[in-house]
Amino acid sequence: MRYHNKPYDQLQVGETAELARICTEDDFYAFASNSGNHNPLHLASEDGDGDNVDEAIAPAMFVGALISAVLGNILPGAGTLYKSQTLEFSNRAHAGEELIARVAVVEKRENREVVIKTSVTRPSDGAIIVSGTAVVIAPEKEMSFHEIEVPGLVVQRHRHFDALLDRSRPLPPIPTAVVAPEEPNSLGGALLAARETIIEPILIGDPDKIAQAARDIALPLGDTEIIPVQGHFDAANKAVDLVVDGRAEALMKGHLHTDDLLRAALRRDRGLKVGRRFTHVFVMDVPGQPHPLLVTDAAINIEPDLETKIDITQNAIDLAISIGIESPKVGVLSAVETVNPAIRSSIDAALLSKMAERGQIKGGLVDGPLAMDNAVSLAAARTKGIVSEVAGRADILVVPNLDAGNMLAKQLTYIAHAEGAGVVLGARVPIILNSRADDEKARLASCAVAALHAARLSGKV
């Protein structure tokens, strides 16, 4: 787009201009960060007036600032400087609403001063949000310029995990066997999820170490059940016993090696294997992404063959449905988006896609091979001429092997500032697999994902 300004000599009384803008929740968070105005009335995740409703009301000065976009870009345009602006607010705008900022020249004065009538309205009902008068110094020279590309802003908040937590809280707390929560992070995650009524933890491990961890984080154990067991492998076996006996509906990894936990779950006698392979799914909340992104398998299956990838894909689809994605779109990743006999992942991707087409993989749309860019970017998919319901819209990314999945998940975490919830599927119950580096939000989200999946499997939702 190319903008042309109107210098003072060319301005005519009666000239008008306008710009439309859809307000978003992220706009209001960015405004709070930039202005320092942290009034919770304007933030989508807060109840700013105590009425138990999260408001997300547009900040008044954010709305008023939309007028400056018209003055600075169009009329008079580049080179315009404010002298004064009056604002009278008649209504309130909210996130998700379209607003139109309008200006009209009403008077020209000496020294390039121009009086301009200003307003912001909501076209859906014609409401005037704000009206007023601006006095500006119009530019002296005529200029034109291409739309200036300013750095984009990504608001680092995790609204998808917030939504998962909101969905899981009304469910009955899921009895969860927590294996060896003998250090602050693992115990803290379990106790925090219990406080949020997501899980009902049963702590299995060394009671003295558990008590010390509770003191370290200053969280009371209260009446939380503790089953004393010495040794991590024995604790894992006891946790599996609780599931088999019907006392627990989920497992949660504490301060022990993943291998010890999974070895107990995979034991032949009274184990948790029910047919499919155990597979791991990261549910990633990536700032700026419109939906959660599931990455699989990034923690268990090292070099999965086609048969294993079938279970990886089906497990991920089932989990996506459990967390509210009605028809999950699965992008099977490779280095290329065309089948290349020399690249095994591209062949596997094409076979998985065809198997889904024939109903051998159910519940979602599967397409591949897709490269990472055209799996998540509509623009990249269109540039390469890929016509697909999945390309550019993938909810699930099936990676070629564990190396690729682990790198992708950690890149999203440490470069894109994502949070990741980790769950193992394919067992009789979900297994919450947290990393030692996970913060409270990630641990809570892992519990929420497991609770939602367990509730759907048991028919509670």
- Supply the mean pLDDT for the chain: 92
Q: Using N-to-C axis directions, what is the helix angle for 440-457 and 306-322, rounded to 10°?
A: 90
Tokens 């439309």 map to which residue?
20
Task: Give 73-84 pLDDT, tens digit per residue.
Answer: 999 999 999 999
Q: Rounded distance, CA 105 to CA 117, Å? A: 6
Low-confidence winner among 250-259, 423-432, 451-460 (lowest mean pLDDT): 451-460
Task: Give 4-46 pLDDT, tens digit per residue.
Answer: 899 999 999 999 999 999 998 889 989 999 999 999 999 887 7
Low-confidence winner among 36-50, 238-252, 293-307 (lowest mean pLDDT): 36-50
Q: Rounded distance, CA 422 to CA 413, Å? A: 13
Mean local confidence (pLDDT), 96-118: 97
Q: Which residues pair with 136 in a beta bridge?
A: 82, 114
**Secondary structure of residue 16 in the 3-state scheme:** strand
Task: Give 431-453 pLDDT, tens digit per residue.
Answer: 999 877 777 788 899 999 999 99
- The torsion defined by the Cα of 405, 408, 409 and 415, in degrees rounded to 10, comes to 170
Q: Rounded distance, CA 267 to CA 436, Å? A: 25
Task: Give 345-371 pLDDT, tens digit per residue.
Answer: 999 999 999 999 999 999 999 999 999
- CA 398-404-407 angle, 5° bins: 115
Q: Would the pLDDT of 54 be above 80?
A: no
Burial of 377 (0-12, 13-18, 19+ CB in 10 A): middle
DSSP states along 214-237: HHHHT---TT-EEEE--SHHHHHH
Per cent of the chain over pLDDT 90 is 78
Cis peptide before 341 (omega within 30 of 0): no
Per cent of the chain over pLDDT 70 is 99
pLDDT of residue 298: 94
pLDDT of residue 461: 64
Tell me whether strands 199-205 and 16-22 are parallel, antiparallel or unpaired: unpaired
User: Does the pTM of the predicted model rise above 0.85?
Assistant: no
Greater confidence (408 vs 437) lies with: 408
Q: Rounded distance, CA 397 to CA 370, Å? A: 9
Q: Would the pLDDT of 50 be above 90?
A: no
Query: Residues 118-147, buried b or exposed e (16+ Cβ, 10 A)?
Result: bbbbbeeeeeebbbbebebbbbeeeeeeee
Q: Rounded distance, CA 324 to CA 404, Å? A: 26
Q: Rounded distance, CA 453 to CA 25, Å? A: 28
Q: Would the pLDDT of 404 be above 90?
A: yes
Burial of 108 (0-12, 13-18, 19+ CB in 10 A): middle
Mean local confidence (pLDDT), 232-242: 95
Tell me whether strands 127-137 and 88-89 are parallel, antiparallel or unpaired: antiparallel
pLDDT of residue 56: 87
- Give backbone dihedrals phi and psi of 248, rounded to 5 degrees, phi first: -125, 145
Q: Rounded distance, CA 272 to CA 425, Å? A: 11
**Secondary structure of residue 44 in the 3-state scheme:** coil
pLDDT of residue 395: 97
Q: Rounded distance, CA 254 to CA 251, Å? A: 10
Low-confidence winner among 22-36, 149-163, 311-325 (lowest mean pLDDT): 149-163
Q: Rounded distance, CA 299 to CA 73, Å? A: 51
Which token pair is 277?
A: 């392979």
pLDDT of residue 436: 72
pLDDT of residue 102: 98
Instruction: Tell me if 108 sits within 8 A of 8, measured CB to CB.
Output: yes
In terms of Cα–Cα distance, which of 210, 206, 251 is closest to 230? Answer: 206
Q: Would the pLDDT of 291 be above 80?
A: yes
Q: Would the pLDDT of 243 be above 80?
A: yes
Mean local confidence (pLDDT), 398-417: 95
pLDDT of residue 423: 96
Q: Rounded distance, CA 409 to CA 170, Å? A: 29
Burial of 111 (0-12, 13-18, 19+ CB in 10 A): exposed
Q: Rounded distance, CA 374 to CA 392, Å? A: 5
Q: Which domains does the chain have, with CATH numbers?
A: 2-146 (3.10.129.10), 159-457 (3.40.718.10)
- Cα distances from 224 to residues 4, 153, 450, in angstroms, run 69, 43, 20
Burial of 162 (0-12, 13-18, 19+ CB in 10 A): middle
Q: Using N-to-C axis directions, what is the helix angle for 184-195 and 440-457, rounded to 10°?
A: 50
- The torsion defined by the Cα of 376, 380, 384 and 386, in degrees rounded to 10, comes to 40
Q: Would the pLDDT of 193 be above 70?
A: yes
